[in-house]
Structure 1
Amino acid sequence: MKIRINKFLADLGLASRRKADKLIDEGAVLINQRKAKLGDKIDPEKDELTFAGKKFAAQQKESLEYWLLNKPFKVISAVTDDSGRKTTYDYIKTKTKARVYPVGRLDYESEGLLLMTNDGELAHRLTHPKYEIKKVYKVWANGIFSQTKMARLLSGVRLSEGRTSFDELELIEKEGRDLVLKVAIHEGKKREIRRVCAKVGWEVTKLLRVKLGSLVMTNLTVGNARKLTEEEIIGLKKLVGLYDENSNL
């Protein structure tokens, strides 16, 4: 499956789409040793991409790795950061020589489950709206609770990008204005949960992702990472139509 270069680079945390377009326009991105053009697409399974002077070889030439990181608070989901902030790659680079990238993004102040891999096709499908991969979060918020507000968040509110809603919403705990919620979504709008909760006067004070598709974070302390099991990899691939029982992982 071919995808636009700017999205590919953004999904891997290498650059925003806007920055990627700027670099493409400046001739800093190559596809199979030719200068890329705005709007070009690549096949992550076949094409070699050169970005900022570094080569990213075709996937079948690489040993694919899949890592689960318990992302800490105030860490950026990226490989590098122009502002010098700590990145998720900083927690992985001592464990593997593979260049693995975050799949989707947890924002700077969010915590929890983050998949990191060099499997570009799997990363693309897990973040593509077509596959509606469910992400589950434990959310701490402050505000006045009511069932009417719960119903509104499930039926939908309007953000600048359009109407959106939570797929699932459950009150886990309530003490005065302090709320603990379970939230499930399948979209990936920027700071979506925080912005949606704000529509009913709830301020999110902590956000922890606990599940991505079939992948669940258990017994992994903050800042630590581990390789996915074969069963976990198969589970994710089955969700997006990539599993072939006759092929090696």
Structure 2
Amino acid sequence: MRSRDSSSMVTPGPRFGLARVLSKRGVCSRSVAAQWVVSGRVTVNGRIERNPEFPVREGIDKVGLDGHPLDAPRRCCLMLNKPRGLLTTTQDEQGRDTVYRCFDGHDLPWLAPVGRLDKASEGLLLFSNDPAWAARLCSPQQGPDKTYAVQVRGLCGPAHLQRMGEGIVDAGERLAVKQVEMMRQGEKNSWLRIVLDEGRNRQIRRILAALNLPVMRLIRIAVGNVELGELGKGEWRWLSEAEMSGLG
């Protein structure tokens, strides 16, 4: 009996649901991918497949969209100077404005926010079509530092700065900043430059609330090597290859 030539055997790759495969390749969100599958726009190995959870073998099965092979698009990323008052989401059930309003009139590919800025916050927000790359940027272990300019009500002294570095406990979580320094101070408020190496929910606001320093403005001014610079409110620009490589 002839033995099978091991060099001609293909090792099956991991299996993922069809909708997830489309999302991982950066062509659309997972929910939109599921709609495309159900509507009959997607094929697997030349056959229409209407089950969004149909298992696809990475590296083996050929996925198509609208009759054309589905190749992963080139990674692209842009930065937006998010205005205050916009939600960081694709759509809102209550009809409130989202960050995507800033892209109206521009023929952009599918892009998802990399991390978040809450409604009251503003400044540098990244968008990418590469979910895996975006996940690495948001990881506390792998992601770049994030820098903020924060205006607080009240006069901030050395003891406050020390407490921010040492950390506080809020709702069972220990919250601290990586770096903090005074930028300038007026008669009734202070501007701080704060660097985080992790991104817990409303982290800066919770720390400052615990120190009785209510936040008046919170502006993200840098993510790793990418700085907000002179980009106007509500404006956006593409990141260069060097900027994307520098982020990780």
SS at match of 1:206: strand
Quote how far apart the aligned CAs of 1:114 are. Answer: 0.6
Partners of 2:168 and 2:62 lie apart in 1 by: 41
Where does residue 116 of structure 1 map in the other structure?
127
Quote how far apart the aligned CAs of 1:162 are. Answer: 1.2
**Residue among 174, 177, 180 paired with 2:191:** 180
Q: Is the 8 A contact 1:72 1:222 kept in 2?
A: yes
Where does residue 218 of structure 2 map in the other structure?
207
Quote how far apart the aligned CAs of 1:177 are. Answer: 2.7
- What do you get for the CA RMSD once the two structures are aligned? 3.5
Q: Is the 8 A contact 2:136 2:143 kept in 1?
A: no
Partners of 1:178 and 1:204 lie apart in 2 by: 10
**Residue among 96, 99, 116 paired with 1:88:** 99
Partners of 1:73 and 1:85 lie apart in 2 by: 13
Where does residue 38 of structure 2 map in the other structure?
none
Q: Is the 8 A contact 1:88 1:102 kept in 2?
A: no
SS at match of 1:130: coil
Which 4+ residue blocks in structure 1 deviate beyond 3 angstroms?
A: 32-37
1:155 aligns with 2:135: no
How big is each residue's C-alpha offset from its partner over 1:173-200, in whole Å with a ceiling of 9 and x where there is no partner?
Answer: 1112300000011211111111110111
Quote how far apart the aligned CAs of 1:208 are. Answer: 0.4
Unaligned runs of 5+ in 2: 1-13, 35-43, 64-68
Taking a change above 3 Å as real, the CA distance of residues 168 and 221 of structure 1, as seen in their structure-2 partners, is same
Where does residue 245 of structure 1 map in the other structure?
none
Rg comparison, structure with higher value: 2
User: What amino acid maps onto 1:168 in structure 2?
Assistant: Q
SS at match of 2:247: helix
SS at match of 2:94: coil
Q: Is the 8 A contact 2:145 2:197 kept in 1?
A: yes
User: What amino acid maps onto 2:246 in structure 1?
Assistant: G
User: What amino acid maps onto 2:156 in structure 1?
Assistant: F
Quote how far apart the aligned CAs of 1:93 are. Answer: 4.6
Unaligned runs of 5+ in 1: 24-31, 49-56, 238-249
* Percent identity between the two aligned chains: 27
TM-score (norm 1): 0.72
Where does residue 247 of structure 2 map in the other structure?
236
Partners of 1:234 and 1:128 lie apart in 2 by: 16
Quote how far apart the aligned CAs of 1:143 are. Answer: 2.0
Where does residue 70 of structure 1 map in the other structure?
81
Taking a change above 3 Å as real, the CA distance of residues 36 and 156 of structure 1, as seen in their structure-2 partners, is farther
Taking a change above 3 Å as real, the CA distance of residues 177 and 217 of structure 1, as seen in their structure-2 partners, is same
User: What amino acid maps onto 1:206 in structure 2?
Assistant: R
Pairs aligned (count): 206
User: What amino acid maps onto 2:141 in structure 1?
Assistant: K
Q: Is the 8 A contact 1:156 1:164 kept in 2?
A: yes
Taking a change above 3 Å as real, the CA distance of residues 161 and 232 of structure 1, as seen in their structure-2 partners, is farther
User: What amino acid maps onto 2:173 in structure 1?
Assistant: G
SS at match of 2:243: helix
